[in-house]
A and B are shown apart, each in its own frame.
Chain A
Amino acid sequence: GQQVMQIPQYQHVQEGEDFTTYCNSSTTLSNIQWYKQRPGGHPVFLIQLVKSGEVKKQKRLTFQFGEAKKNSSLHITATQTTDVGTYFCAANNNDMRFGAGTRLTVKP
């Protein structure tokens, strides 16, 4: 299955600062999904990107899919304490393979 690498592993920000996590693959991805897992919770689906160069927004969250469909990013503008959690990208072919995640902590 597809393997995806995520960076950074951890990110600690002050509330109001921006946050970005990156997802990279050595092979072309058919699509990519993003999930959020709150501490003690389970992954919750955020979005799927399919098209080359696609950009989607959900309020303060902006998701991008690279032109070559080998990388993706999630950017959060003006983080809030409710953004705390681990953000995973997942490559979807016949089955879903998750990256290791970026753990975001936000200092009030």
Chain B
Amino acid sequence: DAGVTQSPTHLIKTRGQHVTLRCSPISGHKSVSWYQQVLGQGPQFIFQYYEKEERGRGNFPDRFSARQFPNYSSELNVNALLLGDSALYLCASSLSGTTRGRGYTFGSGTRLTVV
């Protein structure tokens, strides 16, 4: 059974460009959460989706958007990239979003570098 898969693994973009990051949760998991992790810091919550509905949003600008598809996979979109958007973007999968003692399962992340 595949774990959480994220693509691409690495990405280099120029300031002002747009980026789309993809995540496929564990089979059977209906919730996906996105996190941004800057080097040396803890993961910062961006979005949570459950059953294709946005369940939570962190303190990120409107340049960040996301969606969840009928197969529960998800995309994170970032417009007008800034140098400060350079980070590891993590996708976390869970059955329902409330974890029920099982915790989140994270993907290996997408390392985004903005130059």
What residues of chain B lie closer than 8 Å to A33, measured between beta carbons? 99, 103-104
What residues of chain A lie closer than 8 Å to B99, measured between beta carbons? 33, 48, 92, 96
Chain B residues touching A, range: 20 to 34
A42 pairs with B45, CB closer than 8 A: no
Contact with B along A66-108 (1 / 0, CB 8 A): 0000000000000000000000100010111111110000000
B33 pairs with A99, CB closer than 8 A: no
A72 to B91, CA, bound (A): 25
What residues of chain B lie closer than 8 Å to A6, measured between beta carbons? 42
User: Known contacts being A35-B103, A42-B106, A48-B101, is A95 close to B55, with CB within 8 Å?
Assistant: yes
Nearest Cβ distance between residue A100 and chain B, in whole angstroms? Answer: 5
Contact with B along A17-60 (1 / 0, CB 8 A): 00000000000000001010000011111111010000000000
A106 to B86, CA, bound (A): 29
Q: Report the tally of A-B residue pairs with Cβ distances under 8 A.
A: 62
User: Known contacts being A42-B90, A43-B106, is A92 close to B98, with CB within 8 Å?
Assistant: yes
Q: Is B102 an interface residue (CB 8 A)?
A: yes
Q: Is B92 an interface residue (CB 8 A)?
A: yes
- Across the interface, B92 reaches (CB within 8 A) one of A41, A46, A96, namely A96
B58 pairs with A1, CB closer than 8 A: yes
Nearest Cβ distance between residue A74 and chain B, in whole angstroms? Answer: 14
A90 to B102, CA, bound (A): 13
A6 to B41, CA, bound (A): 11
What residues of chain B lie closer than 8 Å to A88, measured between beta carbons? 42-43
What residues of chain A lie closer than 8 Å to B102, measured between beta carbons? 45, 48
What residues of chain A lie closer than 8 Å to B97, measured between beta carbons? 94-95
B6-65 residues at the A interface, CB under 8 angstroms: 33, 35, 41-45, 48, 55-56, 58
Residues of A within 8 A of B (CB): 1, 6, 33, 35, 41-48, 50, 88, 92, 94-101
